Amino acid sequence: MCLVYILDDDEELCTSLAWLLESVGIRARCFSDARAFLRSYDRDRPACLVLDVRMPEISGFGVQEMLNEAGAALPVVFVSAHGDIRMSVRALQNGAVDFLEKPYDPQHMLDVVQAAQRTARERFDELAQRRDLLRRLDSLTSREREVLDLVVDSVPSKQIAGRLGISTKTVDVHRTRIREKTGAQSLATLVRDVLRLGPSAPGHPTRAKARPHE
């Protein structure tokens, strides 16, 4: 079940939204303080966040920034009592899934939250797969990683052998070892996962994807 966090300094508004969400069976947790939310946010569970823009101490944008820096996958729905176009553009550019102006239509909020939950589930699954893939790739030796990188780049075995100064036979041995170690059905599925989930090696540029603010 995908949890919905609500972060708004107006406690009664938090309560009302939780009451609304629970009426359609969505579980929600209310926070009126950004730090309290950040402390108890559980990254290991799929979740989304309904976030107020204007709050004392840390604004909604500040919270969004911290989550982005931490590489959190949780989709954010912004709400504001005085939203303007500039504000919503900024929120969406920073990865928010939606921007609602208070007082919003509750039915619309339900639709938006449900969509955010789907997004959360997808992102969470993808993240889990990526973590799994990284864990599997971690078991490879550096030579095996070299071979895999070339395979991913569609370099034929003969040329891999030439580039690395080893025999074609040794390349085949590496390929078999890679498949066995990562528990992949075939090398082709492994290559597909690497291409789909992005990062294949530590220090690979695609890792920066999770940290858009640097």
- Interface with other proteins includes 106 (CB under 8 A)? yes
- Interface with other proteins includes 22 (CB under 8 A)? yes
Stretch that binds other proteins, among 103-111, 128-136, 160-168, 197-205 (CB under 8 A): 103-111
Residue (102 or 123) nearer to other proteins, CB? 102
Residue (8 or 193) nearer to other proteins, CB? 8
Q: What's the closest the beta carbon of residue 74 comes to other proteins, in angstroms?
A: 21
Distance of CA 123 to the CA centre of its chain: 5
Residue (108 or 131) nearer to other proteins, CB? 108
- Interface with other proteins includes 33 (CB under 8 A)? no
Residues that contact other proteins, how many (by CB under 8 A): 24
Q: For residues 202 and 139, give the distance between their C-alpha atoms in angstroms, rounded to a whole number.
A: 13
Tell me how far apart the 2 most distant CA atoms of the chain are, in Å.
71
- Interface with other proteins includes 13 (CB under 8 A)? yes
- Interface with other proteins includes 93 (CB under 8 A)? no
The residue from 57, 105, 153, 214 that contacts other proteins (CB under 8 A) is 105
* Cβ burial, residue 114 (10 Å; 0-12/13-18/19+): middle
- Interface with other proteins includes 167 (CB under 8 A)? no
Choose among 72, 68, 79, 71: nearest CA to 46. 72
Residue (79 or 120) nearer to other proteins, CB? 79
Q: What is the DSSP string of 35-104?
A: HHHHHH--TTS-EEEEEES--SSS-HHHHHHHHHHTT----EEEEETT--HHHHHHHHHTT-SEEEESSP
CB 22 within 8 A of CB 28: yes
- Interface with other proteins includes 29 (CB under 8 A)? no
Q: For residues 71 and 206, give the distance between their C-alpha atoms in angstroms, rounded to a whole number.
A: 13
Residue (105 or 214) nearer to other proteins, CB? 105
Binding site for other proteins (CB under 8 A): 10, 12-13, 15-17, 19-24, 79, 81-82, 84, 101-107, 109
